[in-house]
């Protein structure tokens, strides 16, 4: 069996500060939650899984592969970060299209797919506006749209419901339930238990 996520004695140190400490686990394909308070190491672990960080010790495997500097694996993963790494002067449609083009999708097809995904997350009326004019919840929806746009096998989501109002939370929870029902993998990091339970 190929594990969705496999960690063997993974430790990540930031100088003398422990980010992740000797973590070993194997997660089968499916839906998983990563719970913990702010500062517990959730984002560090997710950044190890997407190859942004290299473990100080141990081995990280995602979908059977090492994530560090692995462009082919990154095409199979959708990532929604907790941080706001968006360009304020472009529209949500332009930003999502551009990220799809980085995945190798041609411009016209990327724009069409980006529009579909933005509509799916409830951004149909605002996708042409500059990101600078978006509320926090709208930026969160746009980040989720880009995470699903290239149709990945696995979604890795860092606080994906943060900043959403109750309607938005219900809509995104329904979207993620549909994603899981289609047989795709999801790992959601949150400090809110009821979000993970939902």
Instruction: Identify the band that residue 119 occupies on the pLDDT scale cut at 50, 70 and 90.
Output: very high
Q: Is the model's pLDDT at 195 over the cut of 90?
A: no
Q: For 24-61, how does the pLDDT look when each residue is reduced to its tens digit (9 = 90+)?
A: 999 999 999 999 888 888 999 999 999 999 999 999 99
% of the chain residues with pLDDT over 90:
72
pLDDT at 134: 95
pLDDT at 152: 95
pLDDT at 12: 95
pLDDT at 3: 93
Instruction: Identify the band that residue 6 occupies on the pLDDT scale cut at 50, 70 and 90.
Output: very high
Instruction: Identify the band that residue 192 occupies on the pLDDT scale cut at 50, 70 and 90.
Output: confident
Q: Compute the average pLDDT of residues 101-123.
A: 95
pLDDT at 194: 73
pLDDT at 161: 85
pLDDT at 188: 92
Q: For 156-190, how does the pLDDT look when each residue is reduced to its tens digit (9 = 90+)?
A: 999 888 888 888 888 988 999 999 999 899 999 98
Mean pLDDT computed over every residue of the chain: 92
Instruction: Evaluate if pTM is beyond 0.85.
Output: yes
Per residue, the 3-state secondary structure of the chain, as one string, reads: CCCCEEEEEEEEEECCEEEEEEEEEEECCCEEEEECCCCCCHHHHHHHHCCCCCCCEEEEEECCECCCCCHHHHCCEEEECCCCCCCCCCEHHHHHHHHHHHCCCCHHHHHHHHHHHHHHCCCCCCCCCEHHHCCHHHHHHHHHHHHHHCCCCEEEEECCCCCCCHHHHHHHHHHHHHHHHCCCEEEEEECCHHHHHC
């Amino acid at each position: 069996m190929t594990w969705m996520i496999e960690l063997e004695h993974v430790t990540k140190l930031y100088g003398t500060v422990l980010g992740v400490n000797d973590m070993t686990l194997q997660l089968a394909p499916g839906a998983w939650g990563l719970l913990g308070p702010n500062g517990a190491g959730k984002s560090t672990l997710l950044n190890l899984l997407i190859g942004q960080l290299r473990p100080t010790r141990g081995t990280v495997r995602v979908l059977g592969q090492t994530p560090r500097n692995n462009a082919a694996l990154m095409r199979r993963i959708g990532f929604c970060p907790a941080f706001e790494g968006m360009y304020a002067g472009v529209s949500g449609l332009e930003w999502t299209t551009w990220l799809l083009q980085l995945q190798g999708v041609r411009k016209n097809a990327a724009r069409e797919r980006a529009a579909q995904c933005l509509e799916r997350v409830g951004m149909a009326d605002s996708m042409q506006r500059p990101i600078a004019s978006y509320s926090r919840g709208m930026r969160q929806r746009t980040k989720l749209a880009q995470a699903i746009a290239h149709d990945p096998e696995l979604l890795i989501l860092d606080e994906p419901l943060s900043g959403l109002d109750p309607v938005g939370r219900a809509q995104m929870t329904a979207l993620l339930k549909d994603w899981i029902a289609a047989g795709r993998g999801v790992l959601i990091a949150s400090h809110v238990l009821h979000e993970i339970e939902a």
